[in-house]
Structure 1
Amino acid sequence: MSDHKIFLRLAEETDAWVMSAIHIAAIKALPTTFYTRKQLLAWRNYRDKPNSKNILQNMQAETFWVAVENNRLAGFASFMVDELIALYVHPHYQCQGVGRALVTHFCQEATNQGINQVITTASLYAEGFYSRLGFTAVKRAPHQLRTGIVVPVTKMNKILTLA
């Protein structure tokens, strides 16, 4: 990690545009190893420029946390109760512990609520990342993106230790 400390905080509506930019940048940085260009384009909602509309809508139901380094958003995660719904880290901050910090926070929040198991739907790129954090692959499944395109994903879960 860099010399600057990363800290987490609840996302604010004013963060939505930057979160959209992170979402786009993270997907644009992916190679066409597991998904086609068409699938990757659909995954970022056919956008090259940020648009906060979808994130603002999702903020009505999901809890969003952002990772901040040196007053800049490095990544974000969203979840609902026991399900990690989204995790995106800007390519500049990947492999620096940002994603790990966000997932660890999500698991801690679930533990604090007495939840003993969490789930996520991982892209094929992220399966190894989640496995290293203690998640277990349950099954491969088709997942329909908001745009209607279907992509293969891995349903994963993690058993939590309640204090």
Structure 2
Amino acid sequence: MDCRIRAAHPDDAPAVSEVILAALRETNARDYTASVIERLQQGFGPDAVRTLIGKRKAFVAIAGSRVVGTAGLDGSVVRTVFVAPDAQGRGVGRMLMAEIERVSRDAGIETLTVPSSVTAESFYAMLGFKAVRDSHHGEERTIIMERSLASA
């Protein structure tokens, strides 16, 4: 997909929220119960996303004038990587992760950690992340994965 990656701005929050909510409802819902999806959605409204953009390094993938993906970096932890359902499987996630890795290397980060959804585990594995342990928040299972940037 022809898109560009740039730093997210607070005024991107409504569009980023839309991407996240659509991905949760359409993609992650295949692997999680409706109650888990409902709980997760509550944390990604426009105001919450605006706050996240202000707290971490956040990026958006733009195709034309549309936000089609997002990713964040909180220290050495990769957060909130989502791609619009109609843009999934077209390289957007890889482009976002390449930017996360570039910024991490520039900051001297040696190892990235990502709390992966069940849905995204194979995506991160394809990028060289290894499962370290499982984490559970109620009925939500998250796979903690790591990747050394020194060996990449």
The 5-angstrom pairing of residues 78-117 of structure 1 reads: 78-117=72-111
Give the distance between the partners of 1:96 and 1:160, measured in 2 at CA. 24
User: 1:51: Cα distance to partner?
Assistant: 3.5
User: 1:31: Cα distance to partner?
Assistant: 6.0
Identify the residue that residue 119 of structure 1 maps to in structure 2: 113
Give the distance between the partners of 1:96 and 1:82, measured in 2 at CA. 26
Identify the residue that residue 17 of structure 1 maps to in structure 2: 14
Aligned length: 152
User: 1:33: Cα distance to partner?
Assistant: 4.2
1:68 aligns with 2:57: no
Identify the residue that residue 146 of structure 1 maps to in structure 2: none
Q: Against the structure 1 CA distance between its residues 44 and 61, is the aligned structure 2 distance closer, same or farther, given a 3 Å change threshold?
A: same
Give the distance between the partners of 2:28 and 2:9, measured in 1 at CA. 31
Q: Cα deviations across residues 118-153 of structure 1 (Å, max 9, x unaligned)?
A: 10100011110000001000011113xxxxx55111
CA RMSD, 1 decimal? 1.9
Percent identity, aligned pairs only, is: 26
1:130 aligns with 2:124: yes
User: 1:162: Cα distance to partner?
Assistant: 7.3
Q: Is the 8 A contact 2:27 2:85 kept in 1?
A: no
Structure 1: which amino acid aligns with 2:73? F
Q: Cα deviations across residues 28-73 of structure 1 (Å, max 9, x unaligned)?
A: 1126543111111211118xxx841101111221111000111111
Q: Is the 8 A contact 2:19 2:69 kept in 1?
A: yes
Q: Against the structure 1 CA distance between its residues 31 and 110, is the aligned structure 2 distance closer, same or farther, given a 3 Å change threshold?
A: closer
Which residue, out of 13, 16, 27, partners 2:24?
A: 27
1:156 aligns with 2:151: no
Q: Against the structure 1 CA distance between its residues 65 and 32, is the aligned structure 2 distance closer, same or farther, given a 3 Å change threshold?
A: closer
Give the distance between the partners of 2:67 and 2:52, measured in 1 at CA. 18
Structure 2: which amino acid aligns with 1:125? T
Q: Against the structure 1 CA distance between its residues 20 and 31, is the aligned structure 2 distance closer, same or farther, given a 3 Å change threshold?
A: closer
Q: Against the structure 1 CA distance between its residues 104 and 37, is the aligned structure 2 distance closer, same or farther, given a 3 Å change threshold?
A: same
Unaligned runs of 5+ in 1: 144-148
Q: Against the structure 1 CA distance between its residues 33 and 71, is the aligned structure 2 distance closer, same or farther, given a 3 Å change threshold?
A: closer
Which residue, out of 40, 50, 53, partners 2:47?
A: 53
Q: State the 4+ residue runs in structure 1 displaced beyond 2 angstroms.
A: 30-34
Give the distance between the partners of 2:29 and 2:67, measured in 1 at CA. 26
Larger Rg: 1
